[in-house]
Structure 1
């Protein structure tokens, strides 16, 4: 282990790159380095190391672990450097780790310690990486545990990149950016990187100060505007959150409809008097998302607007596919939309639908006594109406 101390903007310098196309092998066998930073990751160390064992280099920059992370990684054959980054920034730490990668490497894989690569990743990478490739998007899958194969969500992520002309930007929520003329990105959904949910880790609210720094450094960064506004909402700092989310929506780089609709949902939560206006904007922005329909349904239920509640519940229930993005809300796929739809149906005397949706709600939460009582009531009411017809 080599101790390295850096100050902001200073990194270990490597020698000049050897261009990929001038390497002396036939069908080029790319040299690959998997690297990351680590702090008290003993629970994940062996899994990370074992999943990356097919790499030519496995490199970890440890930023001050007090557990046995370093010892576990070293025992697994990983090259570990101890570094200190003051003041702390994730981009400085990751750039320092990247600078420790040997100059003969063609492809770098940035992989956090709570992630692991599924077997067979290397031949799949070599099959799609061409001499002109500068980056590759693999499929990142988020799971509740290592043993549960069901993904909570998945998305493509730029986790593989060329050794040269890449750096991380932003002190938190860091982005991998290319400084060359033309970035040539490939993709492979067959290369899977798994991230395991870890509820024991500190909340991301601790990132707020770093996001404040990121926003000061680049006020026009739409992603930071969104994330900072969202986290300020979670911290109940609504008077600061709303202007940031409104700024996000006004920026020309704010183009992803699903994220824009999410920002509108957040504003609706914080601005009660304009709630319905913002929810309707969110609906028009991304009508394919079930989340907005549940929000509308809750609003109409609170207003006792049964016809519009029926409309919102119907549209929401018809949305049967999750987007797969990090914005998906698991709560929207439970019993609540069916529950609200059944209530609206009862109020409108559409008892066949009330029974159908009441039963669907109960199937999704079988221990809910209120849902059981509601379904029994709907069935009785249906029979009463039939008998009186």
Structure 2
């Protein structure tokens, strides 16, 4: 028993395959409570067998905030720390001790490291810091989707503590649909049209669905909102507008919006890399080298959710290798290819690129005029266009 009473709470539906793994990782808590919203598999039985307290209740019409708040109501009033997770997430061992070291009497929330996605080789993809651990009293969930905690208690909330050492990993079901997100986001914006965060999310969702004009219209609206002042998110809106313009065939507008994103948030890698990828497709090799160099000059990875794995992986060096190749600088291309392969050693294409360029540089050094087929070149280049 620790010095604080810790309760994990969650919502679920048809997640039997995750139940054992989730319960294993939550076992350091004093109590685990779950709201099941209508499972038709063995989720409820499995969780109860493992010791969770499960309440079965339908939420109609479906909203994530309503479900979260109902699950929070299941947490005992005398709980000190509430830990909200989903069944497709895993807390790494030792999280309880790390959380208790960070927590202080009167604290409101805890931020902790969250790996939202993993690459094919098992390495981390998107990583940011999450804030779904909180005190029992004074908080409610708001918004139909992309729900967040809101302080509704008297006075001001307690301080946010940084729970170094708490690591939550997300291993989602790849076949699970996100089809409900768009109508819920549209509902969220109708309910609170002045919430800039949800307007941004709605525009992004339109982009995901290829609704380019809706994306552009919505995100221009986001940028015009007086409350939309967070530069990282503003830059993301500009990048999504740029991508939509590019998809519509308007290269000039796409370039302009990418440059605006860079100006808005020069401390982020993502705007530089987005523009570099567009210039790569346009075969503007000097531009590729310039903007990838700008991206690599950003060495501090942000803790926010606007942090994309590709920008912090092999991609900058991969693009640079190809740009140097097309400019005829084979030794520099080889150096960059080696850096790309080192960052993603399980990627066969990157290893082949490196070996291919090693042969090219060797034959050049021996005074031979190496001849490589067009098919060879297309093979090492195909993933970047």
The answer (yes or no) to whether the contact 2:106–2:159 under 8 Å persists in 1 is no
SS of the residue aligned with 1:204?
A: coil
Q: Does 1:262 align with 2:236?
A: yes
Pick from 86, 103, 114 the counterpart of residue 112 of structure 1: 86
RMSD of aligned alpha carbons = 3.2
TM-score (norm 1): 0.79
Q: Does 1:216 align with 2:195?
A: no
Q: Partner of 1:159 in structure 2?
A: 132
Shift of 1:189: 2.9
Q: Does 1:172 align with 2:145?
A: yes
Q: Partner of 2:380 in structure 1?
A: none
SS of the residue aligned with 1:183?
A: coil
Check 1:44–1:358 CA distance in 2 against 1; reply closer, same or farther (3 A cut).
closer
Q: Partner of 1:32 in structure 2?
A: 6
TM-score (norm 2): 0.80
- Tell me which moved more, 55-64 or 131-140: 131-140
SS of the residue aligned with 1:213?
A: helix
Q: Does 1:90 align with 2:64?
A: yes
- Tell me which moved more, 323-332 or 214-223: 323-332
Check 1:370–1:100 CA distance in 2 against 1; reply closer, same or farther (3 A cut).
closer
Query: Matches of 2:102 and 2:197 in 1, distance apart?
Result: 30
Q: Partner of 2:220 in structure 1?
A: 246
Pick from 273, 291, 296 the counterpart of residue 294 of structure 1: 273
Shift of 1:62: 0.7
Query: Matches of 1:190 and 1:157 in 2, distance apart?
Result: 12
The answer (yes or no) to whether the contact 1:31–1:56 under 8 Å persists in 2 is yes
SS of the residue aligned with 2:114?
A: strand
The answer (yes or no) to whether the contact 2:142–2:150 under 8 Å persists in 1 is yes
- Tell me which moved more, 253-262 or 276-285: 253-262
Pick from 169, 194, 202 the counterpart of residue 195 of structure 1: 169
Q: Does 1:316 align with 2:304?
A: no
- Segments of 5+ residues of structure 2 without an aligned counterpart are 370-385
The answer (yes or no) to whether the contact 1:300–1:309 under 8 Å persists in 2 is yes
SS of the residue aligned with 2:266?
A: coil
Query: Matches of 1:385 and 1:300 in 2, distance apart?
Result: 32
- Tell me which moved more, 93-102 or 163-172: 93-102
Partner deviation per Cα, 1:39-65 (whole Å, 9 max, x = no partner): 111122223233333433321111000
The answer (yes or no) to whether the contact 1:259–1:327 under 8 Å persists in 2 is yes
SS of the residue aligned with 2:241?
A: helix
The answer (yes or no) to whether the contact 1:335–1:360 under 8 Å persists in 2 is yes
Q: Partner of 1:66 in structure 2?
A: 40
Larger of the two Rg values belongs to structure: 1
